[in-house]
Amino acid sequence: EVQLVQSGAEVKKPGESLKISCQGSGYSFTTYWIGWVRQMPGKGLEWMAIINPGDSDTRYSPSFQGQVSISADKSISTAYLQWSSLKASDTAIYYCARLGMAVTKHYIMDVWGQGTTVTVSS
Amino acid sequence: DIQMTQSPSSLSTSVGDRVTITCRASQSISSYLNWYQQDPGKAPKLLIYAASSLQSGVPSRFSGSGSGTDFTLTISSLQPEDFATYYCQQTYRTPYIFGQGTKLEIK
């Protein structure tokens, strides 16, 4: 079964660092880009960034460039999203998703992780 | 960035209704448009890709149309499990921005 399994919920204080993970299984991890999506409480989906686990090439949304960092370790089929200094406004659910390619040659986010809830509060 | 605007933001509907949600891109994106469904507390699920192609396993009451800047998602006869939030997403150019979402509520 193709799946992405994310790390568990985190509760942090402002200014702390954090790294959350997304492990893929059931497919060739290096063949597909992995994306990260933020959902703030009661709000919509925000596309953050994508990474190619094969060569660690990345693309960031301007809204998130410099605010977060994404990485991948292909040896353990895991992608990461990290913050060096959290803010209360980083409180959200973070989803990872596989960026597949449909038969029409269009990119699709076809497999999603279960989400990681990050709470930042003093 | 290419901006995506959905309408309406919410819709009060009934089981059996025909529902249409629209999505407009700030510039032409050809057919690089996907639709997702999200139930509360769940991850999004892909419904439609390339504007009009039905993802495997998705019921045929869902359909998509459009190209260029204007797109629609239609649910031909709403079922109880369809009351959710729907998002469009462009994959023409990064960042692959989502629309703000349309929440279907029970009338």
Q: By CA distance, what is A102's nearest residue in B? A: B49
Is residue B26 pLDDT above 90, yes or no?
yes
Per-residue pLDDT for B96 more than 90? yes
Which chain B residues touch A62 with a CB distance below 8 Å?
Answer: 1, 95
Confidence of residue A105 (pLDDT cuts 50, 70, 90): confident
**Tens-place pLDDT, residues A39-75:** 999 999 999 999 999 999 999 999 999 999 999 999 9
Q: Which residues, in sequence order, are bridge partners of residue A59? A: A50
Interchain pair A113, B45: CB under 8 A: no
Q: Give the one of A50, A107, A112 whose C-beta lies nearest to B44's C-beta.
A: A112
| Sheet of B4-7, strands arranged across | B4-7, B19-25, B70-75, B62-67
Tokens of B7: 């309408």
Considering only CB atoms, which chain B residues are within 8 Å of A116? none
Give the closest-approach CA distance of B91 to chain A in angstroms. Answer: 6
How far apart, in whole angstroms, are the C-alpha atoms of residue B18 and residue B20? 7
Pairing of strands B10-13, B102-106: parallel
Question: Which pLDDT score is estimated for B41?
Answer: 94
Q: Does A91 touch chain B (CB under 8 A)?
A: no
